[in-house]
């Protein structure tokens, strides 16, 4: 199962999404017998890549946030000691 196929949410996969949707429109019965399977596989791979990039970006952002939080806590601890 894939996430909703909205182009604005998946800019990396927009071209494949359009091809996949077009295939489903052109082959309403044959899609059940594997006519669009190659595109589905490409789409799944693209979603995995997209998710990996988002995960990496979120991890980097969280590292920066944690570092700022540590600095803030250290600063507050030092100021409350004085």
Asked if 47 and 13 touch (Cβ cutoff 8 Å), the reply is yes
The residue whose two tokens read 């939080």 is 69
pLDDT of amino acid 38: 95
pLDDT of amino acid 50: 94
Mean of pLDDT values over 51-73: 95
71-78, Cβ contacts within 8 angstroms, sequence gap of 24 or more: none
Mean of pLDDT values over 33-56: 94
What pTM value is reported for the model? 0.72
Mean of pLDDT values over 2-8: 77
DSSP classification of residue 9: T
- The H or E element containing residue 52 is helix 37-81
């Amino acid at each position: 199962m894939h996430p909703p196929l909205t182009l604005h949410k998946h800019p990396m996969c927009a071209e494949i999404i359009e091809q996949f949707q077009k295939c489903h429109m052109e082959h309403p019965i044959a899609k059940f017998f594997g006519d669009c399977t190659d595109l589905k596989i490409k789409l799944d791979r693209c979603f995995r890549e997209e998710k990996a990039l988002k995960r990496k970006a979120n991890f980097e952002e969280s590292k920066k946030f944690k570092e700022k939080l540590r600095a803030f806590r250290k600063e507050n601890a030092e100021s409350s000691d004085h």
